[in-house]
Amino acid sequence: MTGPYSSAAVRSVSQEPPQGQEPKVRIPVKAAGIPDALKGLNQWVVWSYRLTDGKFKKPPLNPRTMRDASTNDPHTWSDFAAALAVYEDGKADGIGVVMRAGSGVVGIDLDRCIAPDGTVEPNALRITEMINSYTELSPSGTGLHVFALAELPVARRSGPVELYGTSQYLTVTGSVFEDHHLMRAAQAEVEKLHAAITPPPVSTPSPRTPPAPAREYPRRLDREIIERASSSRSGAKFRALWNGDTSGYQSGSEADAALCCMLLYWTDGDRDRADALFRQSGLMRPKWERPDYRERTFNAALRLRG
């Protein structure tokens, strides 16, 4: 499975719309392409574009009330038929499914892996081949979503690759990518991918370990900050975020702000130092390179600090 994707629809897709312009759903929902194993879940939501901080987002909505849905509250979800009916009535821009621990389904988001000419990024192709399960185009046509029968108690993200196992949702289009129309059991493959994108864990320092001599070994200053944060009263929360675990947060941006809040505390409010430390964490991804996103994230972190 090499070379550009054959669909002319994908070759004509552009990147995300410029800020401030109304986005267009490029890939419509094709219910027939969605596997029965997904349709059978009672974990469906709908979504519509919402302009937030100058960018159009896709927050999940309760199909019954059209109010914000929570990925932690099953009462805000519905069955597939109800979500599809809302979409087909033109009341929403798309549908999505919540990843819930114990449901036996894992989602993999391969973000921005399809170029405007339809060429698929090689690493994304390797992942779809390894998982070998149901794969579809994202609503923008620039990404891929893979769904497999597996369990993943802890979400994981590394750059453009994100594994969803619980308390997160993925949009669903039913626009099948190549011949990946069947959803298969792939526990071993999912665990392999999870291990491949998991950064080395932060070890909890021993109380007997003397502090590193900062002036003689400047590089150890970073490690000392991480060790102190990891062994503090909120150390478990810090270690989870540092290792890239976003479970318990509504979005990756929210998790980024939470880690930045902690880093600002441990660096006495030094943004440059907090920025340098963040880049070493498991939450680091290409989005962080955008100055506007870093600025918004640090401002959100300062609000969290009060």
Looking at residue 157, its pLDDT comes to 80
Residue whose token pair is 């990024």: 121
Residue 141 backbone class (left: φ over 0; alpha: ψ -120 to 50; beta: rest): left
Residue 223, pLDDT score: 81
Q: pLDDT digit string (tens) for 15-65? A: 344 444 556 668 999 999 999 999 999 999 999 999 888 888 899 999 999
Strand boundaries in the chain, DSSP class E: 44-47, 50-52, 55-57, 60-61, 94-99, 105-110, 134-137, 144-149, 156-158, 161-164, 168-172
The token pair at 15 is: 């990147």
Q: Is 222 helix (H, G, I), strand (E, B) or coil?
A: helix
pTM above 0.85, yes or no: no
**What per-residue confidence (pLDDT) applies to 7?**
32
Rounded mean pLDDT for each run of 10 residues along the chain, 306 residues in total: 33 39 77 96 95 87 96 94 97 95 92 92 94 96 96 80 89 96 95 84 62 43 84 91 90 92 88 89 90 91 81
